[in-house]
Amino acid sequence: MTLAGKKIAILIAPRGTEEPEFKTPKEAVEAAGATVTVVGIEAGEAKTNNNDLDPGGSYTVDRAAKGISASEFDGLVIPGGCVGADKLRADADVVSFVRSFFEEAKPVGVICHGPWLLAEADVLNGRTVTSYTSIRKDIENAGGTWADKEVVTYKGLVTSRKPDDLAAFCAKIVEEFAEGKHPEQARSA
């Protein structure tokens, strides 16, 4: 499956995004031919974490979320890590950016604590998703249905639980990004 010609955005927090959940999906969509833009709260550098607390690598943030929207991209990846996801969901520009993908019916891949951003963007109502187990109640309180599965795909939205699920997650996001827009994705936006 090829993503040649596709533009994919991937989020990163200033510090705290889980490195394997950032690096592995980024490499997977690039290997499939996509051009990836790293989006954060502000442009510059961002440091990742491993196991939420151990230092990870440093990555270039290509663009700040302020002033951009899904119209510039074909898909979005939201990595997890409880520290990073919490920082991202507290930023109104990031939340608006996430919501714009649902408004434009574009595919989104989310792993681990990333669904916190979906709750903040108010796009979980009526959707079935998975996540790291500790945020199950947050998903349910936002109107979503939680499932304990390696990968859950719901009309253009791909979710996974944790780094152990990355192989299946990456395969599914490449497939969904290749398919393109999913009209049902805009339903809850």
Task: Sketch out the chain's domains with CATH numbers.
Answer: 7-111+164-179 (3.40.50.880)
For residue range 78-133, list pLDDT tens digits in order.
999 999 999 999 999 999 999 999 999 999 999 999 999 999 999 999 999 999 99
Q: Is 153 helix (H, G, I), strand (E, B) or coil?
A: strand
Q: Which amino acid belongs to residue 73?
A: F
Per-residue pLDDT at 166 exceeds 80: yes
What tokens were used for 149? 């599965």
Rounded mean pLDDT of the chain? 96
Report which of 95, 171, 165 is spatially closest to residue 131, judged by C-alpha positions: 165
Q: H helices of 52-164, where?
A: 82-89, 92-103, 115-120, 136-141
Active-site residue identified among 82, 113, 170, 182: 113
Spatial separation of the C-alpha atoms in residues 127 and 162, rounded to whole Å: 19
Considering only residues 170 and 53, tell me which one the structure prediction assigns the higher pLDDT. Answer: 170
Per-residue pLDDT reduced to its tens digit, 125-154: 999 999 999 999 999 999 999 999 999 999
82 a catalytic residue? no
- Is the pLDDT at 188 greater than 70? The verdict is no
Is the pTM value of this prediction over 0.85? Answer: yes
Confidence of residue 189 (pLDDT cuts 50, 70, 90): low
Catalytic residue among 82, 112, 170, 182: 112
| Residue 112 known to be catalytic | yes
